[in-house]
């Protein structure tokens, strides 16, 4: 489903990503972890087409991507409602209502975005991503603005999507406590790949002290 081979990214002289290579099958759940500045968001931006690497290949067996960016370049002074944001993506009211219900945001359907908390906005932008019925869902630190209760719910939701929709999920996080499920893969990068494999093997890797500080 996802084939990444020898991705190299430079910002001027700075070699941000070095020979990044990994493959994912349909329905895989991948956590991308690493310290701040390790290139996680850069890799994500390359996967979704916002950045072009200097070398390497990417093959995604679908054009239907869902994307939840890390920091929203969303202007705070643009008045807009939740409904306008979501209707901009799809005219399907059933889909909008369905995903809002799943995100526990039904009551906010016509609310102004400016009135929402950071976590609520993040849920709406996740709905925005899911409304495209993606085969691959890419999330860049989605739990950073969420309260602890919804953080756990959110992660369970992602695994639910993986199981029921056979969605391939790529989840960037700097918090290893997000990596809780054994049936997922982990990609640990710090400019280059330090680990790629199953979660159970990553547990051994991280216990050996190869963890970010």
Partner 1 sequence: MGDFLQFAFLQQALLIGVILSISAALLSPFLVLNQQGMIAHGLSHVSFTGFVLGLLFLDQPLWIAVPFVVSSSILIQYLTTKVKLQGDVSIGIVTSIAFAIGLILIKTSSSFNVSVESLLVGNIFTLRAGDLFLSSVILLSVIIFIWRYYQKLFLMTYDQNYAVFLKVNVTFIRYLLAIFTSLFIVIGVRSIGVLLITSLIIFPAAIASKISTTFKHTFLLGIMIAVISSLFGILFAHPLDIPASASIVMMYTLLFIISFFIKKGGQTS
- Shortest CB 114 distance to partner 1, Å: 7
Among 93-101, 110-118, 187-195, 196-204, which window interacts with partner 1 (CB under 8 A)? 110-118
Answer yes or no whether residue 50 interacts with partner 1 by CB under 8 A: yes
Q: Where are the alpha helices (DSSP H) in 38-147?
A: 40-47, 82-87, 93-102, 118-130
User: Given its phi and psi angles, is residue 76 left (phi above 0), alpha (psi -120 to 50 degrees) or beta?
Assistant: alpha
Answer yes or no whether residue 58 interacts with partner 1 by CB under 8 A: no
Answer yes or no whether residue 77 interacts with partner 1 by CB under 8 A: yes
Q: Which of 1, 48, 102, 193 binds partner 1 (CB under 8 A)?
A: 48
Nearest of 36, 1, 35, 4 to residue 18 by alpha carbon: 4
Strand partners, 195: 188
- Shortest CB 83 distance to partner 1, Å: 8
- Shortest CB 200 distance to partner 1, Å: 33
Give backbone dihedrals phi and psi of 27, rounded to 5 degrees, phi first: 90, 0
- Shortest CB 87 distance to partner 1, Å: 9
Answer yes or no whether residue 157 interacts with partner 1 by CB under 8 A: no
CA atoms within 13 A on the CB side of 154: 24
Pick between residue 144 and residue 206 the one whose CB is nearest to partner 1. Answer: 144
Q: Check: CB of residue 8 under 8 Å from CB of residue 54.
A: yes
Q: Where are the alpha helices (DSSP H) in 2-147?
A: 40-47, 82-87, 93-102, 118-130
Nearest of 66, 50, 29 to residue 159 by alpha carbon: 29
Answer yes or no whether residue 148 interacts with partner 1 by CB under 8 A: no
- Shortest CB 42 distance to partner 1, Å: 14
Residues 160-179 that bind partner 1 (CB under 8 A): none
Pick between residue 1 and residue 85 the one whose CB is nearest to partner 1. Answer: 85
Give backbone dihedrals phi and psi of 76, rounded to 5 degrees, phi first: -70, -20
Q: Which of 26, 101, 115, 166 binds partner 1 (CB under 8 A)?
A: 115
Contacting residues toward partner 1, per CB under 8 A:
48-50, 65, 67, 69, 72-75, 77-81, 84-85, 88, 112, 114-115, 128
């Amino acid at each position: 489903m996802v084939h990444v081979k020898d991705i190299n990214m430079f910002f001027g002289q700075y070699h941000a990503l070095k020979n990044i290579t990994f493959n994912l099958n349909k329905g895989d759940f991948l956590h991308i972890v690493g310290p701040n500045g390790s290139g996680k968001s850069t890799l994500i931006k390359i996967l979704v087409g916002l950045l072009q690497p200097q070398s390497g290949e990417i093959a995604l067996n679908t054009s239907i991507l869902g994307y939840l960016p890390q920091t929203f370049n969303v202007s705070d002074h643009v008045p807009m409602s939740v409904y306008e944001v979501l209707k901009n993506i799809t005219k399907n009211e059933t889909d909008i209502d369905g995903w809002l219900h799943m995100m526990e945001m039904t009551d906010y359907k016509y609310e102004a975005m400016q009135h929402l908390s950071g976590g609520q906005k993040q849920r709406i932008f996740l709905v925005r991503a899911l409304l495209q019925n993606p085969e691959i869902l890419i999330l860049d630190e989605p739990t950073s603005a969420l309260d602890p209760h919804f953080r756990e719910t959110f992660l369970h939701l992602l695994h639910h999507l993986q199981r029921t929709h056979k969605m391939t999920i790529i989840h960037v996080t700097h918090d290893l406590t997000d990596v809780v499920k054994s049936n997922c893969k982990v990609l640990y990068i710090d400019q280059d790949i330090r680990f790629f494999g199953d979660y159970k093997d990553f547990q051994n890797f991280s216990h050996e002290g190869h963890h970010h500080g």
